[in-house]
A and B are shown apart, each in its own frame.
Chain A
Amino acid sequence: EIVLTQSPLYLPVIPGEPASISCRSSQSLLHSNADNRLDWYVQKAGQSPQLLIYLGSHRASGVPDRFSGSGSRTDFTLKISRVEAEDVGVYYCMQGLQTPFTFGPGTRVDIK
């Protein structure tokens, strides 16, 4: 089973400042078709998770361009260029390469 780790687990941020979350995989997530099967979700309080970034770096429909994803194989990063108050929530990475698909432990983003 592929294990994902995230850091930090808690990220207090100042509105307008950048933020960055790391996700590391126990195995390469590079698919044979050259896609990295790593996605990012955010779960806001009392809501279902929402897709932010898919295949490592593709922003989902409707996601503001202050969110970006990068990385390959085992190391991935989610960046928020300028944090807004509405970005508070728990951010999860998930691997979709090999079943069982697995999620990282989550990073709680809060306003300082």
Chain B
Amino acid sequence: QVQLVQSGSEVKKPGASVKLSCKASGYTFVSYGMHWVRQAPGERPEWMGWINPASDKTKYSHRFQGRVSITTDTSASIVYMELTSLRSADTGLYYCARASYSNYAEYWGQGTLVTVSS
């Protein structure tokens, strides 16, 4: 069965960077894209970006102004998301979600809590 297992919680200071991982199993890794979605406390989910593991083509939300980078380790079926120049507003749950051919998020990871605090 499809599983997306994300890395553990992180606590970071403002200005630092964080790199989260999402290990996929139960399907052919390069056959599906992967979204990263974050959710601040009490807010709606917010799409951050997407990667096609077969080509490493990426798309990012302009809202992150070049602070986000999504990469893959195809040999290990892992997708990474790095967010730089962290601020307190980046505190929240970060999810990876497998993308269908028409972009809907069919399977979700369990989420990784990132706390940004001085």
Contacts and interface: CB of A to CB of B under 8 A. Distances in A.
Contacts of B35: 101
Interface of B: 35, 37, 44-47, 50, 59, 61-63, 95, 97, 100, 102-111
6 contacts: A39-B104, A49-B37, A92-B45, A94-B47, A99-B47, A106-B44
Contacts of A54: 100, 102, 104, 106
Contacts of B50: 99
Interface of A: 31, 35, 37, 39, 41, 43, 48-51, 54-55, 60, 92, 94, 96-97, 99-106
A51 B102 contact: no
A41 B61 CA distance: 20
Q: Considering residues B46, B61, B104, B108, which has the most beta carbons from chain A within 10 angstroms of its beta carbon?
A: B104
Given A49-B108, A99-B61, A55 B102 contact: yes
Contacts, number: 61
A96 B97 CA distance: 13
B113 to A, nearest CB: 12
Nearest to A102: B47
A41 B44 contact: no
A101 B62 CA distance: 11
B59 A37 contact: no
Given A60-B106, A96-B104, A103 B45 contact: yes
